[in-house]
Amino acid sequence: MNHLHPNPGWPKHDFRHFQGSMAPNHSDLMVGKHCILELYDCDQNKLNDEAFIRTTITTSTKVAGATLIHLITHQFTPCGITGLALLAESHISIHTWPEINYAAIDVFTCGRHTKPEKACDFFVKEFAADNYLLKSLKRKTPSGISNSLRDPNS
């Protein structure tokens, strides 16, 4: 059994009753946005360039107004890269398939100061995607923690 708190930094609450399809009552506050970006017909060389992807993820973090904590990437053989940026505000992930000129990207940021859509626009331009699909979800704050303060830098 995992004893880690699902929301480190927030006061202790019993979140077990939120499991399954039963959604908790939400306040009107938005905890963050989760953007799901599909990039099609991209520059194949960029999709398989690990240094380029590391630089692009790092810059996209700044464009979104987020704080990069840690970045990890992995180059696959014969091709493809996975990258994950741990942010103070959540995460950015990318998975590339250069052989079909495709990338799947998630940008999830918490807080009103971040702009994940700007990071997505940046990815579209940097990977020279001829086509893309962007879905944006608003994450709502569970009422039990809506007034809790959390310091992302601690």
Report whether pLDDT(122) > 80.
yes
Q: What is the arithmetic mean of pLDDT over 120-136?
A: 97
Domain 27-143, what fold?
S-adenosylmethionine decarboxylase (3.60.90)
What tens digit of pLDDT does each residue of 63-110 get?
A: 999 999 999 999 999 999 999 999 999 999 999 999 999 999 999 998
Q: Residue 124's closest CA among 80, 94, 100?
A: 94
- The C-alpha atoms of residue 82 and residue 104 are separated, in whole angstroms, by 10
- What's the pLDDT score for residue 153? 60
Q: Between the CA atoms of 33, 82, 50 and 70, what dihedral angle is there, to the nearest 10 degrees?
A: 60
Active site residues: 90, 95, 110
- Rounded Cα distance between 47 and 129, Å, is 11
CB burial of residue 96 (10 Å; 0-12, 13-18, 19+): buried
Mean pLDDT, rounded, of the chain:
83
Least confident of 35-49, 92-106, 133-147: 133-147
The mean per-residue pLDDT over the stretch 146-154 comes to: 59
pLDDT of residue 139: 77
d(CA 137, CA 38): 14
High-pLDDT (> 90) share of the chain, % = 65
Q: For residues 33 and 142, which has the higher predicted lDDT (pLDDT)?
A: 33
Residue linked to tokens 């608003």: 138
CB count, 10 Å around CB of 33?
A: 21
Please give the pLDDT value at position 140. 73
